Amino acid sequence: MALNIVVKVHPVVLFQIVDAYERRNADAHRVIGTLLGTVEKGTVEVTNCFCVPHKEYEEMVEAELNYAMDLFEMNLKVNKQEAIVGWWATGNEVTSHSSVIHEYYARECQNPVHMTLDTTLHDDHMGIKAYISVPLGVPDGKSGSMFTSVPVDIICYEPEIVGLRLIQKTVNQKKGVEPTTDLAQIGEAAAKLCGLLDTVLVYVENVLDGWVEPNNAVGRALLDMVHSVPSITPEQFEEMFNTNIKDLLMVITLCQLTKTQLQLNEKLTLLTSL
């Protein structure tokens, strides 16, 4: 059944959870919320989420479910493709109240996913785990449920990758960074690619010299990488690269001309109005 489920989470979901945890009430030990996304062929893709106010006591838990449904209906007006796929909670473990909350989401969607994000930075790592509820019991006897772990992967759209790279640049800086131009991004990507190729070459040379024990998985990955590169001559590659650069430069020039034209038109309109 659901044991074959794979959960794929987008970075924006993690940022939203961390933001909700930072904005929590002073007496709140953890934060919970709803996961939104799509389900297709055993893959749960989580693309959005929101926080659900709640209070936990020793023997019970209270959650503002009406608020959660109102917020979901508002989000549905913006993105009709996103449906409820489960719920999330901060922390590194499943608590005694998790089954109660999970029962509610089981009424909202089929096989809901429970995701935990360790905002306490246990072992200096923000661990991400996902669970599904599996029924237990014997025929004509007592029944129960158990949370079973399922694989979790982090995936990104191309715009998200650009944003993550900008965020990485601010790790050792106290101020923000400006988005780089297209040519600068190409230069950074080329420099990073050269560095990765140097690392691969060093590894291959060490294996050939007997300094490093061969790894079959790495060898197969390198073979797939070599076969994925189209067989073209250096002259053909140079011509293709120069053509793409010319197209990029033309687009940049047209954008700058359009921007200048709009600025001139704005100033002329302002002068004529005076």
pLDDT tens-digit series, residues 31-77 = 899 999 999 888 899 999 999 888 877 777 788 888 888 999 998 88
Residue ranges of the domains in the chain?
A: 2-154, 191-229, 233-274
Whether the full predicted model's pTM is greater than 0.75, yes or no, is: no
Q: How far is CA 48 from CA 29, 37, 88, 164, in A?
A: 23, 6, 11, 17
Asked if 145 contacts 133 with a C-beta cutoff of 8 angstroms, the reply is yes
Task: Report the pLDDT value the prediction gives residue 174, as an integer from 0 to 100.
Answer: 66
pLDDT, tens digit, 9 for 90 and up, residues 217-257: 888 988 888 888 788 888 888 888 889 888 888 988 999 99
CA atoms within 13 A on the CB side of 59: 0
Neighbours of 227 (CB within 10 A): 9
Average pLDDT over the chain, rounded to an integer: 84
CATH superfamily of 2-154: Cytidine Deaminase, domain 2 (3.40.140.10)
